[in-house]
Amino acid sequence: MEKSHGLVFSTAEIREKGGLTLKKALDPEFFADVLEGPAKVANANVDLVFSVGGDSLLLEGAVEAGLHLECARCGEPFTGKFTEPFDELYEDAVESIDVSGTLRDSVALMMPLKPLCSPQCKGLCQACGGNLNLKVCGCVTGQEAEFSEAKKEGPFKDLKRRPRL
């Protein structure tokens, strides 16, 4: 049987109280299989607000978590703090509401497509693989080499190669 982590709520109790507000810290192990690769969740917190309205219950909330990620440019590990809001509408016919799926989906959505340690990350040198954030290596990449060669020959390079008459 799967642990509920205290994330299953009775609709009858929510209605009796006229709503429910909850702030809760979540165990990072709860999200262990949500993210792929080296990414890990740390310091996850959730804010939940259940509102009663007519024949339904509205859940509004947000998950805030630190994600241990690997930079897509330089490969260095870093921790970023992310927040993902959510809202769900539940019909009154259900007896209980399990928000664990919503929270796990929210954490999956907060994962950036291209995680960067910093927007200014310079990445790795294409020639030697050194981290350009730590040192300037002085290597000449293929594109720079082509530009350098073209600059040496100048705009009259074709005239130099033409046979003389």
Instruction: Tell me the residue length of the chain.
Output: 165
In terms of pLDDT, which residue wins out, 32 or 81? 81
Asked if 26 and 45 touch (Cβ cutoff 8 Å), the reply is yes
d(CA 86, CA 104): 11
86 has a pLDDT exceeding 90: yes
**Total-model pTM:** 0.72
2 vs 76, more confident: 76
**Predicted local distance difference test score (pLDDT) of residue 84:** 95
pLDDT at residue 136 in the model: 85
The pLDDT, as a whole number, for residue 69 is: 92
Of 84 and 3, the structure prediction assigns the larger pLDDT to 84
Q: Is the pLDDT of residue 12 over 80?
A: yes
Contacts (Cβ under 8 Å, ≥6 apart) of 36:
none
Residue 109 has pLDDT above 70, yes or no: yes
| Confidence category of residue 1, pLDDT binned at 50, 70, 90 | very low
Reported as a single tens digit per residue, the pLDDT across 44-66 is 999 999 999 888 999 999 999 99
